[in-house]
Structure 1
């Protein structure tokens, strides 16, 4: 009885690509990577990123509503959140844009003020049957390695919600 269950578990794991991983961790840094092959139109990636209110989890905002988020994909553009008092909270900035990547200075949430580097890179390399939308986050700062698992949980969930929106156009906003 145990053998068929074990075989089924191995088979299930072998056909499901690993989507999230803490690639590296030290006391003062960590690197996260999220990548899944998908049948997408890479031209849809910028629009899906900008549609933050449709896929970002409201529980991971200061205002309590993903509808208050915005993203400007031009270099220097803000990954911002409109707060109740009218203030725009600056979560991050677009650093560079190329035909196949976006680089953000991204000291999101609890990382603000604690990092010397917090970069999120979004790429979409071609794969055998489509593309592999990928997020890579590199974070450095004194003692920051202890935050890797918490940041991984939030960013991994964000990646999954974004990927679902990118692939299916289904709003995941809460």
Structure 2
């Protein structure tokens, strides 16, 4: 018997996050531009995900405590596991992640796995930047990556110009 997949969404300040999962774990959290069809039955684990995302966006949560069940290759799983070790308010470069997994030669593969992370925010791929500090790539859009890094205090808030 196939495992049932359920869907709900969270209306974050930077767009709707579509959450999919089973009765026991979260499969994906992805920004969605289209209308989301929400499941009639929403398991507790998806409700907990919505609550924890809300706590994150309102500044009450820095780490997530949810069972995650993303689909991916063994290498992708290694990369995503490494991303979870990057603390709130900190960044790593793609090279740092590659070195921690299998060496510098894996940097392109790390970038590809990072870009295929199905658990945005929960597995903080937004905390991976270029070795020169540049905000390279983000599947959800660079403007969202910048917003998330500002939210976490990594980037300074933009200064508004005053006329007087």
Greater RCO structure (CA 8 Å; 6+ sep): 1
User: Greater share of strand residues, 1 or 2?
Assistant: 1
The verdict on a shared fold, with TM-score over 0.5 as the criterion, is no
- With the shorter chain as reference, the TM-score category is under 0.3
TM-score computed with the length of structure 1 as normaliser: 0.26
TM-score normalized by the length of structure 2: 0.27
